[in-house]
Amino acid sequence: MAKPRGEAQDKGVKRGRNVVHRKAGLDGAGTESLASKRKRKQMERAVFDSEERYRLIAEHTADAVWTVDMNMRLTYISPSITPLLGYSVQEAMAKPMREIFAPTSFKPAMGLLKEELRVESKKQKGVARSRMLDLELTHKNGSLVPVEVKYTVLRDTQGRPVEVLAIARDINERKQALEEPEHSTGRLIRAMEHAIQAMTVIAEMRDPHTAGHQQRTTQLACAIAEQMGLSKEQIIGLRLAGLIHDIGKVRVPAEILTNPGGLSEPEFMMIRAHPVLGYEILKAMDFPWPVAQIVLQHHERMNGSGYPSGLSGEDIIVEARILGVADVVEAMASHRPYRAAPGINKALAEISQNKGVLYDSQVVDACLTLFRDREFEFEQHVDVGTSLENIYQGALQSWHRFFQSRQQVQTSLRVLEEL
């Protein structure tokens, strides 16, 4: 039976509408596809431009730039590796990491990377982190090149670590500039020591019976200072002062210094003036340590009974307190033209009995420890030319920064363990 005309028309309209809708959908999909393609091309172009820009930067910077993948294989080295290490890019790319780093630097470098990868495995996505380390690389000619290396872990768009970026800067000139003051200070100390040695010889030529006293006193004083934990700088000053602590005696008549008999009161007072006379000689010398004050105060005593100023307690600088004890011990342990040597046992008994009265308690304790526990002995023939190498090394400070990722990182950690 034929369908009513109106119904047929309605169905025709619906079919037409469906065709239109399908066509419109196809047109929309096409438009969306074109937009997506355009956007993708723009993104690709942006990525290309970005990579090209960073490549140009890396290839024109003086710093050497390289990247390694998560298996610690080199993936890129900038041309600046050639002036730094002498290798062409191709030669450097072919070398294992172990041969690029100096033997003493390879382990710290790998340790830093391992630590960083562990940190990266736990870090929140998008958090930037870089680490720096002073290392040495091996030049093609075998020499060592000091560098400062900055490490950064690179992540993909999903936040996963994919590469490690390293930027190495030659710091040879910086190291030389930092070391120059140390070398200059060493030369200055040695020059001062030689001048002081000359003054010592002059003093002892006028008093041959006490030759070596200043050196032996200095030997003990420096040992006490080390036992007490004084700084290297303080020990330098103490040593220089000790070597000339009796320099004031050059202004005392030789016949008084060498008199084998007893001294009269005026003569004794002249000898007691030697700390002031020494201070007057030394005060105009621009020492970076309180050398003149140490010489001036080395006969002061804790209870104020010493000379020349009657200082007491903390008013006496610690170096002078140390030198005072060392001076007494050495003097009593050694022969003098006007008396026999009482001996080391009596010398130690003297400072023990007057500990905290005449002599600083800490200084006395340190001195007794040296003789009773560490078997200290005076050198019988002290080399006046002994350098300060062991003393001033370490007095100047230098500084270094040290070092500190699950899935892809674990592979890197295994590789690092095998290196």
Q: What is the CATH number of the domain that holds 116?
A: 3.30.450.20
- Under a CB-based contact definition with an 8 Å cutoff, are residues 171 and 147 in contact? yes
The yes-or-no verdict on residue 266 having pLDDT over 50 is yes
Cα three-residue angle 403-409-411, rounded to 5 degrees: 115
Q: In whole angstroms, give the CA distance from residue 384 to residue 194.
A: 9
- Could you tell me the two tokens for 335? 């022969």
Q: In whole angstroms, give the CA distance from residue 191 to residue 31.
A: 87
Q: Mark whether 369 and 408 lie in a shared domain.
A: no
pLDDT at 109: 87
Of 129 and 415, which is predicted with more confidence? 129
**Intra-chain end-to-end CA distance of the chain, in Å:** 89
- Does the global pTM surpass 0.75? no
The yes-or-no verdict on residue 162 having pLDDT over 50 is yes
Q: Does a structural domain hold residue 89? A: yes
- Could you tell me the two tokens for 302? 């804790």
- Under a CB-based contact definition with an 8 Å cutoff, are residues 296 and 275 in contact? yes
The yes-or-no verdict on residue 385 having pLDDT over 50 is no
Phi first, then psi: give them for residue 287, nearest 5 degrees.
Answer: -75, 145
163: how many CB neighbours lie within 10 A of its CB?
Answer: 16
Instruction: Read off the pLDDT band of 49 (50, 70, 90).
Output: low
Residue 53's domain comprises 22-57
> In the chain, what percentage of residues exceed pLDDT 70?
67
Q: Mark whether 182 and 301 lie in a shared domain.
A: yes
Alpha helix positions (H), 123-261: 172-206, 213-228, 232-243, 254-257
Name the range with the highest mean pLDDT among 31-40, 48-57, 266-275, 394-403.
Answer: 266-275
pLDDT at 409: 47
- Under a CB-based contact definition with an 8 Å cutoff, are residues 376 and 370 in contact? yes
Q: In whole angstroms, give the CA distance from residue 313 to residue 302.
A: 5
Of 25 and 259, which is predicted with more confidence? 259
Q: Mark whether 272 and 367 lie in a shared domain.
A: yes
pLDDT at 175: 78
pLDDT at 199: 76
Q: Does a structural domain hold residue 123? A: yes
Spatial neighbors of 369 by CB under 8 A, at least 6 apart, are 227
Q: Mark whether 192 and 341 lie in a shared domain.
A: yes
Of 294 and 73, which is predicted with more confidence? 294
Q: Does a structural domain hold residue 266? A: yes
pLDDT at 417: 54
Q: Mark whether 84 and 131 lie in a shared domain.
A: yes
**Tally of structural domains, the chain:** 3
Tokens 């004794």 correspond to 268
Q: In whole angstroms, give the CA distance from residue 189 to residue 271.
A: 30
Of 183 and 30, which is predicted with more confidence? 183
Q: Which among 213, 259, 227, 268 has a CA at the least distance from the CA of 384?
A: 213
Beta strands in 45-143 (DSSP E): 64-69, 74-77, 130-138
Q: Mark whether 375 and 301 lie in a shared domain.
A: yes
Q: Does a structural domain hold residue 373? A: yes
pLDDT at 121: 67
The yes-or-no verdict on residue 90 having pLDDT over 70 is yes
Q: Does a structural domain hold residue 17? A: no
Q: Mark whether 273 and 408 lie in a shared domain.
A: no
pLDDT at 45: 60
> In the chain, what percentage of residues exceed pLDDT 90?
36
pLDDT at 156: 78
Of 139 and 386, which is predicted with more confidence? 139
Q: Does a structural domain hold residue 153? A: yes
pLDDT in tens, 120-136: 666 555 455 678 889 99
Cα three-residue angle 131-136-138, rounded to 5 degrees: 130
Q: Does a structural domain hold residue 268? A: yes
Q: Which of 14, 36, 57 is the last residue of a domain?
A: 57
The yes-or-no verdict on residue 5 having pLDDT over 60 is no
Average pLDDT over residues 23-36: 54
